[in-house]
Structure 1
Amino acid sequence: MIVAKLLLQRKQMVTFSEEIKRCENCQQKSQQTILNSYTTFGSPDLDLRPPSMERETIWMWIQHCPHCGYCSTHIQRPNEFKNDEQKKFDTACWQSLRGAWVCDDSINDDAARKCRLRTLELIDKCLEDGKTLGEQVAITECIQVDILRRIGEFDRALTIISTVLSIALILLQKPEPEEVIVKMLKFQRRLIEANDKRDYTISDAQKMEND
């Protein structure tokens, strides 16, 4: 595995171990790779995908049972991927979005699009349930906008950007979004005007404001 070789080359920055885990589904034991620590360099993407080195550990975020195919962040626990059924929409959103990141790395555009569409559905449920994807004001909308732009849903993305940046937030007595959120949304608007669906980082958004 290419990523595993890369991590071994950077063993001083990423540490992991091998442990035997019992599968919740079939009760069989298997060896699983456990991420212990990592060093992060650079800026997250606009959808908060972690920078290198953390993103290179994504293959360790999910454990897979080789006996029955059961998958979970911890295979000794009940399945966490039914979180949308259990109304844990915020957790389900992140799981679906991470699926899109894996598909991006595999250059599987169709699968990445499906994951992003699923994430958008879950974000809508999340907001309806009064939950968000983070503590920062409008961070959920920020992620939502990036997903929409990446799949070419420019009009809907622009509507959300206008809403967040408008006086409506004040009229609704909501706190104003932080400066970095405002910069990210303005950068997204510029990308949409250029019909740009590529991935960018938060650092890219901040550089634009400083130009």
Structure 2
Amino acid sequence: MTQFALKQVTCAVCGGVSEQRTLQCVSTFGRPDLDGRPSVMARSTMGLWTQLCPACGYCATTLTQALPRAREVVHSVTYRARLHHPEAPALFNRFLCLALLHDAEGLVRDSAEFRTHAAWVADDAGLEESARRCRSEAADLLLNAPPLKHWEHREDLDWQGWRGVQLVDLLRRAGRGEEALREVERIRREGASSLMKQLLTYESAAIARGDTGRHTVDEGLGLPSPPELQPIKDPLLEYLVGNYHRLLTDTEQRASSMETFNTEEGPRWATDHPEILALLTEGKAGLGRALERRLLAEHPDEVVINRCPKCGVPARTAKARQCRACPHTWRETPR
């Protein structure tokens, strides 16, 4: 669910007060595109990612904050021309104005991000050349960016190398396939998770066939739909997750929704986390059995495994009296 609010905001550049829509929360279903664009519903909120001061034309993610050289840039000819460019979508212009503001501060990674956002707007508007140019400029900035600080390197183990995959995708979609392949080799040398290696393999194949189109992480991993929309595929595990989700650890919850993807060596779990892999040693069925033992031992007065008296398959809920696997019902049994 997406929620936004209307707020009176004071511009940090000119002091003007204006009413702005601010994003309060947004739900995200599914993994992003290979260049980082979020999936629905988050991608539909791009219009709320920037604020524009109607008095001075300052663009920002939050008007109440301004970069040191913001006033100078906002009044420059280049900025004004970009903001009011008549042949481009207004949101496209705003993102590029944000890029100009960050260019002036030498914040190249932020500038690359805003150019990438502009490319997404151009994609939606069918402006292929504008999208290609924005991606190419973003890629140039990232290729020449200073090394990340040690705290900026922190990535989830399964997403180690994700920034590199995004750069490869920017280059591929900008039509710079040879450079993209060089980045693929660099990322492999420096280290990437199993998931990211699979995405790099997918990118390499796309480059080989001259594909410069949009693709998603799910496509790259061969996953047909987001994991939260797929069945758990084990009745006991589904019963435990559905009825006692609050009693599961974060690792157990992640393991219960874990999917597999195909690699050159065969299918494997879509994670490198040793704790999750340990829980999945015997597959989803083994995880269900292990969770049953733990929950019954630790919460004997709360956890009830409601099985069909005829076939033994767990019902959907603790109070259900109809089997989902066979036609048997036991409604006459006292609840």
For the criterion TM > 0.5, the same-fold answer is yes
2:147 is the alignment partner of 1:130 = yes
Structure 2: which 5+ residue stretches go unaligned? 71-97, 224-260, 264-335
Does residue 158 in structure 1 map to residue 181 in structure 2?
Answer: yes
Deviations 1:109-129 (A, max 9, x none): 222122112211210232xx1
**Correspondence list, 1:96-111, <5 A:** 96-111=115-130
**Residue 262 (structure 2) pairs with residue 210 (structure 1):** yes
Task: Tell me which residue corresponds to 2:281.
Answer: none
Identity %: 28
Name which structure has the greater RCO, CA cutoff 8 Å, separation 6+.
1
- The SS at the match of 1:155 is helix
Q: Shift of the alpha carbon at 1:96?
A: 1.7
Cα separation, 2, equivalents of 1:16 and 1:34: 5
Q: Is the 8 A contact 1:38 1:53 kept in 2?
A: yes
- Residue pair 1:65, 1:71 contacting (<8 A) in 2 also: yes
Per-residue CA deviations over 1:141-164 (Å, capped at 9, x if unaligned) read 211110111111111111221233
The answer to whether the 8 A contact 1:134-1:140 is kept is no
Cα offset, 1:30, TM superposition:
1.1
Residues 90, 131 of structure 1: 8 Å contact kept: no
Alignment of 1:74-93 (within 5 A): 74-78=62-66, 79=70, 81=99, 82-93=101-112
Helix, strand or coil: the match of 1:33?
A: strand
Question: Partner letter of residue 187 of structure 2?
Answer: V
Report the more deviating stretch, 23-32 or 192-201.
23-32
Q: 1:182 aligns with which of 194, 197, 208?
A: 197
Aligned pairs for 1:1-211 (under 5 A) are: 13-78=1-66, 79=70, 81=99, 82-126=101-145, 129-131=146-148, 135-136=154-155, 137-165=160-188, 169=189, 174=190, 176-207=191-222, 210=262
Conserved? CA contact 2:12–2:65, under 8 Å? yes
1:161, 1:184 → 2: CA distance? 10
Q: Distance in 2 between matches of 1:99 and 1:131?
A: 23
List per-residue Cα deviations over 1:82-136 (Å, max 9, x = no partner). 333323222222122111111111211222122112211210232xx11287634
1:68 is paired with a residue of what secondary structure? Answer: coil
* Pair 160,87 (structure 1): closer, same or farther in 2 beyond 3 Å: same
Q: Please say if residues 84 and 122 of structure 1, whose CA atoms lie closer than 8 Å, have aligned partners that are also in contact.
A: no
> Matches of 2:221 and 2:126 in 1, distance apart?
27
Change (3 A) 1:189 1:96: same
For 2:109 and 2:205, the matched residues in 1 are separated by 28
Contact 2:133 2:174 in 1 (8 A): no
Q: Distance in 1 between matches of 2:54 and 2:11?
A: 10
Alignment check: 8 A CA contact 1:30 1:66 kept? yes
Q: Distance in 2 between matches of 1:26 and 1:103?
A: 30
Query: Following the alignment from structure 2 to structure 1, what is the Cα–Cα distance between the partners of residues 7 and 209?
Result: 48
- Partner SS, residue 93 of structure 1: helix
- Structure-1-length-normalised TM-score: 0.81
Cα distance in 2, alignment partners of residues 57 and 97 from structure 1:
15
Which one has the largest radius of gyration? 2
3-state SS of 1:39 partner: coil
Q: Residue type of the partner of 1:180?
A: L
RMSD between superposed Cα atoms in Å = 2.0
